[in-house]
Structure formats: structure tokens, C-alpha cells
Amino acid sequence: MALALAACISGCGPGRPRENQPPEVGIVVLTPQSVPLTAELPGRTDPYATSDVRPQVTGILKSILFREGGLVRAGQPLYQIDPAPYQAAYDSAKAALANAEAAVVTAKLKANRYAALLKETAIANQDYDDAEATYKQDVANVAQQKANLKTARINLDYTRITAPITGRIGRSLVTPGALVTANQTTALATIQTLDPIYVDMNQSSSELVKLEQAAAAGHLTDRSQATARATLELEDGTPYQHDGTLQFSEVTVDPTTGAVVLRAVFPNPEGLLLPGMYVRATIIEGIATNAILAPQQGVSRNEKGEPTALIVDSHGIARLRVLEAPRAVGSNWLVTAGLAAGDRLIVEGLQKAQPDKPVRAVPAGSPAKPTAGSRS
């Protein structure tokens, strides 16, 4: 009788769970959505404009009129070359012009008198022709002297060297007393426009081709509009507070790196960005339309390294799917093949689910229910 009682307790007790109970799994229903696709690219800062300051006349440098490392404006005086010889040349050209203009007056009067005498046949035709030719030569000489005076004025103005662009100027490579020559190869100083500033980034040409093909197939919206905005992160990981704008993509591929250069322009009012700095830029490559995003906790890898996921079909059976998931978007995988809108993806209880076996699907995050037959 004791054996019968023990068998009853072990076989009929309320603590024994039901056999063949399908495991409970948490699922999410996949819905298509529009997703911005971003890329983080390494880059270097480049000046918006660069100009070397060089003399256009030869002379002795008298003074430096700027503060090294400071901000200069276009047209601001930077250097003064000794103007004395050029002032003398200008004065000489001015006097030569006055002399030529006086000669024109005399030649014109003479030509007019000879014209009157010729009508009365009081002089020979040759005399009139000579007077008329002299007058025209004097008129031409006036024009030449005006040009000489203008050249002398330009050279005199060039003795004061001004900034060609607005920007920050570096150190001066010459000192007062130095002899500088017209159009010399060595710059006196260099000016760089740093606000705004360029950021040049490298993007894989193969990735660029894929994006263009996706856009042509209608999977991405117009990339020329989608990629207008860019953000920046400094070398130490600090976010840069100003957003930039993508300007253009280079038309050739670098044969050594297989990359295409993208250029963005960023405001730099505080002067925080300096030429040559290493930064990381984030750009929007496009907007993926009808994209399927799968939570990363619902995706694993098989022995081949392929991404896989389990879904629950209409009969409550777990089905294994092999996916194509080329990139992560936040905490999700962007799935381009293997999953479709409306699929019920298992994201909780994956360790209990087996392919082609029944499961009991509940919305992910639902409180766990006690197993049938367990004590309350």
C-alpha cells in the first residue's frame, strides 16, 4: 500500500508540469519605415581659401603693418616697400604727360593755320601734310604718356602690399630692411580663411556605387537632398556644436586607396577648427524607404557567420530565416532580405525556441505567466 501511495504522489501530484507545452517567446511585428542611413567617415580640415602674399614690385621693405597670427581683412595693408623710387617715377611720368599735352596744343594750332593757308594756296601741300602728321603724333604721344603715368601709379600703389583675402595670417617670413623682388617664389606670409572651413572625407568607391544603385532602384530617396547635412566629432570624441553641409563628391577615385573624396563646409566662428586637424564626420547617405529593421537581440549568426533569425508563422511554428543585414541602424539591423513586413520576429526566449517546432508567441516585454500545473 505504501508503494501505491508513493506512485500516486509522484504521478498525480499538482507540482508536475504538463508535458509537450510549447515554450513561450516574445515577438515583435516588423513594419516597414523610412530610415536615414548614416556613415561615419574620417576626415581632415582644410582652409576655405588660401592666399600667399607676394610683392609685385622690387624694393626695400620698410615696415610690417600687421600682427602675426591675427585676423586680417581683404584690402588691409600688410607691408610697406620704400616708395621713393616709384614716387619719383610717377612724378616724372606726370611731367612727361603735361609736356605732351602742351605739344598737342601747339601742333593743333599750327595744323589749323596751315589748313587755312592751303585753301588760299599760300603754302605747299607738303607743308600742310607735315603739320597734320606732327599733330597726330603729338596726340598719340599724349595717350602713351597717360599709359606711362597709369603704370607708374600702379607700381607706386604696389609698394603698399595689401591682403588679397580675409582670414588669419601666419608668421612673416621677412623683416624690415629685406630686399623683396617682384613675383618672387617665396611668399612673405600666408593668409587662410578658416570661417567657414572645409572638411575632406574619404568614402569607399564600392559603397558609393551601392548607394547610387539603391537610389536608382528606388530604395533610397534623392541623395542630393538627403545628404545635405553633416555633423562632426573632434579627435578627442567631443561633438562639434555646428552642423555642416555636404558640398560635393570628387569625380575621380584615388587609385591607391580606392576611395572618393567628399567635401563638407562647416561654420567655424570660434576658430576651434584649424587646418590639418583629424576629425570624424557623420553624413546622411540617403533615406531608405520601406526599410525593415530587426532588433539586434533577435538576430544571431550561424556556423557560416551568416545572420539568422527565428520568426513565428501563422501556425505557431518557429521558422529559421537566413538574412542579409548589411548595416546596423542604432540598436537594429537593417534587413534587405530574409524578413518581410508583418513577420513576427522572436526577440525573447530564443534559447527555448527551436526551428520547425511550435512556440507560444506573446508580445515582447509581456510579464511572464506561470507554467501550467505549478504551485501559486
Reading the block at residue 242, the C-alpha cell is 555646428
Cβ proximity of 357 and 320 under 8 Å: no
Averaged pLDDT of the chain: 85
Q: What pLDDT does residue 77 have? A: 96
Inform me whether the pLDDT recorded for 196 exceeds 60. Answer: yes
Q: What pLDDT does residue 3 have? A: 40
Q: What pLDDT does residue 181 have? A: 95
pLDDT digits (tens, 9 = 90+) for 130-184: 889 999 999 999 999 999 999 999 999 999 999 999 999 999 999 999 999 998 9
**How would you class 281 by CB atoms within 10 Å of its CB: exposed for 0-12, middle for 13-18, buried for 19 or more?**
buried
Q: Which domains does the chain have, with CATH numbers?
A: 22-35+291-363 (2.40.420.20), 36-49+194-287 (2.40.30.170), 56-81+160-186 (2.40.50.100), 83-158 (1.10.287)
What confidence tier does 211 reach under pLDDT thresholds 50, 70, 90? low
pLDDT digits (tens, 9 = 90+) for 227-272: 578 889 998 889 999 998 888 776 677 777 777 888 889 999 998 9
| Mean pLDDT (whole number) for 330-342 | 90
pLDDT digits (tens, 9 = 90+) for 19-75: 578 999 999 999 998 888 787 888 999 999 999 999 999 999 999 999 999 999 999
More confident residue, 221 or 259: 259
Q: What pLDDT does residue 220 have? A: 57
Q: What pLDDT does residue 222 have? A: 53
Q: What pLDDT does residue 2 have? A: 44
Q: What pLDDT does residue 339 have? A: 93
- Tell me what percent of the residues of the chain surpass a pLDDT of 90: 58
Question: Model's pTM, two decimal places?
Answer: 0.66
More confident residue, 195 or 6: 195
- Tell me what percent of the residues of the chain surpass a pLDDT of 70: 85
Inform me whether the pLDDT recorded for 80 exceeds 50. Answer: yes
